[in-house]
Amino acid sequence: MKTFSIRFVLFCAIALFAGAGFCRAANDSIEPAIFPRPILCELSADYVPLVKIAIASADADAINWAERHLKEWYGKQTPEVIAHQADVAYLGDEEYEMEIDEQGVKIKARTIQAVRYALYSLRQIAIPKRGTLEVGGWITPKGTIKDKPQMNFRGIHICWFHESEPWEVERQIRLAAYYKMNYAVVEPWGTFKSNVAPWLSWPDATMTKKQIKRLKAIADDLGITLIPQINVFGHASQARSLAGKHATLDISPKYQPLFEPLAGWNWCLSNPETRKLLQALINELHEAFGRPPYFHIGGDEANLPSCPDCASQPYSKLFLEHIEAMNETISSLGARTMMWHDMLIERGDPRWSGYVVNGTKETAEGFLKFPRDIIICDWYYGAPRPSYPSMDYFKSQGFSVLACPWNVTNGTIAQCKYAHNAGIMGVLGTTWHRYFGRDMWTIYYTLSNMMWNPNVNIHTGETNMLRVQTHIRQIGWDMKLTNPRQAGLYYDEIPPEPFLNN
């Protein structure tokens, strides 16, 4: 940090004052921009040919990574990559500096991740040389970028529904990585093809181990870690409650004892077979995802017990023992448990009035004895609030906390700013069933900017939508898409009615 000097601090202050990292506007035109907005980004209106990139990095694999991806992005006109010597020891794990002038591009980045981030930024401002029928070279604005994230955990939660297709999951993983998020939770909704319990999912489940392996390889290469999820409490149907489906019971009714009688929504916590099954499933999924450092166990929106065995026991104890058992399995695999927050606070408690609360006295009591290594994912999808008291509560109880917004732009901004000021672990944004259309671009745009630098002032104007569309198109090129259905924000040019005005 010491070499960041007064000059850098001044630059930051000016950049923040001028609208937080917006690249300098050229006269009467649309200026280039980078998402998430860098801490310092000074771009000139002058463009220079993109023919040489000198990279100083302490990671031996960084040059190889750069050459491989630049070739993928720029084809025949790939700029030459040169390793150069410079002091990079002072740079953080995800921090980079980039100078672009007539001599070429100079990048300083200690780690391969920081090299990725520098090149993701460069890709967003480099454009084809003008004046030819076909691409005949690349140009980029001259300038200076100095950049590092303000939050360490920058995650996105992605759903894999029965009707989701693997390319849609892949596109989100690629977009999240391109926008410098470093974790993606992938939640199967009756779609994980398990060997331990093949009957648990729909018979035509598409989240096969082969697909997971393919997506994990892509994610690792792009610098984002995939985290698996299964629901170990409510949502045992692996379907949205409105859908009224049950991925297990609609096809295999003989497994009813594993679930509470009321719609099979909760797992039956008093049945020892439930615990055995879930522990085996956690192990199987965790292995399929290559043993990542986290595992999400869901835990939201459960009902009261409806079977006589569960109902006759102190539910706080049953709930606590169940979560402890899940957490023990996850800990033994070298990972940390993540869990939604809403069952852990009591509905009716005035402290949480107006926020998301689904817990009872029993679940809130059980929670107080939870192992403190569990990460609490505090979700709220509404309009901005002046404070988010449950984030502070979980933190004060000794837990790591992630703030989890959805698709309300102003709400996301307020939550991320609050989370940053509260000094919690980071942000895990959600997409749910809105991973296309207007929601797709506003979610990824807003989240990535606010996770990277919550002090930035952003707006969701038409120009930014067009920028995100450009980035999604670049990802389509990387995926070698040829099907029009897989291009752009909607499957079809005329989207279904509910989305027409959305």
Distance between CA atoms of 290 and 186, rounded to whole angstroms? 13
375 sits near Zn ion (criterion: CB under 5 A): no
297 sits near Zn ion (criterion: CB under 5 A): no
236 sits near Zn ion (criterion: CB under 5 A): no
Distance between CA atoms of 237 and 302, rounded to whole angstroms? 11
| Span of 10-18, 97-105, 303-311, 480-488 interacting with Zn ion by CB under 5 A | 303-311
Check if the beta carbon of residue 400 is closer than 8 Å to that of residue 376. Answer: yes
356 sits near Zn ion (criterion: CB under 5 A): no
34 token code pair: 């980078």
Neighbours of 276 (CB within 10 A): 11
Q: How far is the CB of 203 from Zn ion (least distance, A)?
A: 26
| Span of 21-29, 121-129, 304-312, 442-450 interacting with Zn ion by CB under 5 A | 304-312
310 sits near Zn ion (criterion: CB under 5 A): yes
Closer of 303 and 460 to Zn ion (Cβ)? 303
Distance between CA atoms of 481 and 471, rounded to whole angstroms? 14
Q: How far is the CB of 260 from Zn ion (least distance, A)?
A: 5
Closer of 302 and 468 to Zn ion (Cβ)? 302
Cis peptide before 36 (omega within 30 of 0): yes
| Span of 115-123, 127-135, 309-317, 477-485 interacting with Zn ion by CB under 5 A | 309-317
Q: How far is the CB of 500 from Zn ion (least distance, A)?
A: 44
DSSP H helical segments within 201-358, as ranges?
A: 209-222, 272-288, 308-311, 315-332
**Cβ-based neighbours of 133, under 8 Å, separated by 6 or more:** none
Closer of 270 and 329 to Zn ion (Cβ)? 270
240 token code pair: 């949205």
| Span of 52-60, 221-229, 305-313, 452-460 interacting with Zn ion by CB under 5 A | 305-313
* Closest to 178 (Cα-Cα) out of 116, 227, 126: 116
| Span of 199-207, 262-270, 284-292, 480-488 interacting with Zn ion by CB under 5 A | 262-270
Closer of 315 and 355 to Zn ion (Cβ)? 315
Closer of 173 and 268 to Zn ion (Cβ)? 268
Distance between CA atoms of 23 and 144, rounded to whole angstroms? 10
Candidate list 25, 51, 63, 307; residue touching Zn ion; CB under 5 A:
307
Distance between CA atoms of 121 and 92, rounded to whole angstroms? 17
Distance between CA atoms of 137 and 129, rounded to whole angstroms? 5
Candidate list 55, 230, 268, 281; residue touching Zn ion; CB under 5 A:
268
Contacts with Zn ion, residue ranges (CB under 5 A): 268, 270, 307, 310
